[in-house]
Amino acid sequence: MTSEGSPASVSNAALRFHNLRLNHEENDEGAVGGIEAENIETVNDSPQNMQPAGTIMLNMVRRALEVSDIIEEEEQTATSSRNAIPSTSNYDNRPPSNSSNVVRPEARARTSILAENGLTNYSVSSTVYNWQGSKATMRERFTFLFNNEILSDVKFRVGRGSQQRVIPAHKLVLSSGSAVFDAMFNGTLATSSNEIEVPDVEPETFLAVLLFLYTDEISINPDTVMTTLYTAKKYAVSSLEKHCVDYLRSNLTTDNAFLLLAQARLFDEPQLAAVCLDTIDKFTTDALNADGFTDIDIDTLITVLERNTLRVRESKIFQAVVRWSEAECSRQQLPVTPDNQRSVLGRAISLVRFPLMSMEEFASGPAQSGLLTDREIVQIFLYFTLNPKPRVGFEAMPRCLMMGKEQTVCRYQQTESRWGYNGTSDRIRVDRRIFLVGYGVYGSVFGPAEYEVIIELIHTASGKVIAKNNTSFSCDGSNYTYRLIFKEPVEILPNTVYTASVTFDGPDSHYGSKGQRVVTVDCGPKHGKVKFSFNYEAGDNNGTSIEGGQIPELIFYL
């Protein structure tokens, strides 16, 4: 028997049925009773249970007629259905998530009917949607199931309000890639609901995480990387977390270093935070000037201000702190006043190292800002003018550069008085690679006094001025040294000769004697020893030489 049920075969079957009925009319009663038997192959061999050949043929003809009618009717239904439904496709040949890509109901019904009638050789492949047949690998099959209703057994309502989307998923796939999903579906407190609310995640981000779980594909960009990192951490998808962190690290710049640092601290990513801090240390000025600096939270600000490795003048740090306080007042909808700025800064203001500024920098900036109390201002001015230095409420330890802490090399073994000035320079040569911060100089021998000074670092061979600062300092008449600092630290290359120059405008001062040509500074077990060689600078040097004179100290970092 064929699957089509042609009219000719049906007519022949009807004729044979008529002849058999005439020849076996006396057996009709038994034949009718035998119609109930479903399997003619397994009937009992006893005479009482055997059916005549006519009865068997009668049953087959009746079933042939029924099946022929069913097949014809369903072929018509399937054809009209295919003509009515437009075809849909997308970029990866996957059906849309809510499409009718399921086994057709008519195909299931036909298969059931044919099986009941013993016609298992009837072909239905032309009407069953066999999506598995076109997917050669597991990856292709899982890619097809991603965001697809087929075989899905859970749905997520992701997002809020009008942006909310319903996303289908498969518990097996999610549980195999996430311990959180595994506990959600299979743990002792597993949810019984097949619809789960996820209001704190955007639909696009949730789909990016699901795409990774289904296919290992990574879909992140600068706009979504932080939300993807948050979602990956929420569902403990550690591999995707790592990809997000690596992406952020590779796109780290001075413009976004502070923002990424704040996010790294929020998401507890210590490795990313360390890379951000290292970038801020090396390029502090650029990072502080970036727009994103004023958007960080107070805890991140405090973390940065506590560091000893910022490569910038303290006055620049104070200016950045003032900008941040103004932005924070605006965020809290407070008037931008000194009292409110001090309030939002909290203990962060105490982390600014005012004693590291020059007196001029402090007087022109912090002292007039209104952020400090009168007592604090007086204490800092006393710190600038008195020796030994009084204790103040602010850190006085110099911030470090690159590696290690601030170091000082002193070339004189004894202090004398007095040394006069006529406006020319005292000079000395150095030829060791260092990061020069400034010089230590002697003050007045006549008690308290003010000096106006110009400090310079000159490349000796070319005569080019590499660094210069016009500044001033106050002294109390003691033989202590006083710090004169460049605006920015200066790198001195190895095996290159430089001239250190300070031009004084003020009264006679103390000076050093018993100078050393070579001085070795022990910088600790990590950095070893640094050797400095000093040489006489010929020309107009106001008498300073290897044996005696001014500029007793060089302040540097390694």
CA distances from 172 to 152, 194, 291 (A): 10, 13, 45
pLDDT in tens, 233-280: 999 999 999 999 999 989 999 999 999 999 899 888 888 999 999 899
pLDDT of 540: 66
CA–CA separation, 318 and 491 (whole Å): 24
AA identity, residue 348? A
pLDDT of residue 121: 44
Instruction: Identify whether the C-beta of residue 216 lies closer than 8 Å to the C-beta of residue 177.
Output: no
pLDDT value for 89: 39
Q: What is the pLDDT of residue 427?
A: 59
Q: How far apart are CA 352 and CA 354, in angstroms?
A: 6
Three-state SS for 240? helix
CA angle 66, 71, 75 (to 5 degrees): 155
| Helices 138-145 and 203-215: angle between axes, nearest 10 degrees | 160
Q: What is the DSSP letter of 185?
A: H
| Burial letters 298-332, b for 16+ CB under 10 A, else e | eebbebbbeeebbbbbbbbbbbbbbebbeebbeee
Residue type, 129: Y
d(CA 189, CA 538): 86
Residue 311: cis peptide before it, omega within 30 degrees of 0:
no
What are 205-209's contacts with CB under 8 Å, separation 24+?
A: 205/230, 205/231, 206/156, 206/158, 206/167, 206/231, 207/147, 207/167, 209/235, 209/237, 209/240
Mean pLDDT by 10 residues, the chain (558 residues): 47 51 48 44 45 52 51 51 43 42 41 43 49 90 94 94 94 95 93 92 95 94 90 94 92 93 90 91 91 94 92 91 97 96 96 90 94 94 83 82 65 83 59 78 89 90 89 86 84 81 90 88 77 75 79 85
Pick from 302, 300, 292: nearest CA to 254:
292
Report pTM: 0.53
Q: Which domains does the chain have, with CATH numbers?
A: 135-251 (3.30.710.10), 313-401 (no CATH), 407-557 (2.60.120.820)
Residue 42, C-beta contacts closer than 8 angstroms, at least 6 positions apart? none
* Predicted local confidence at residue 104, as pLDDT: 40
**Alpha-carbon distance 219 to 229, whole Å?**
12
Cβ–Cβ < 8 Å for 399, 307: yes
Element containing residue 315 per DSSP (H, E): helix 314-331
Any idea what the Cα angle at residue 227 is, between residues 221 and 231, rounded to 5°? 120
User: Residue 66 is which amino acid?
Assistant: E
For residue 74, the model assigns a pLDDT of 52
Residue 418 has phi, psi (to 5 degrees) of: -135, 165
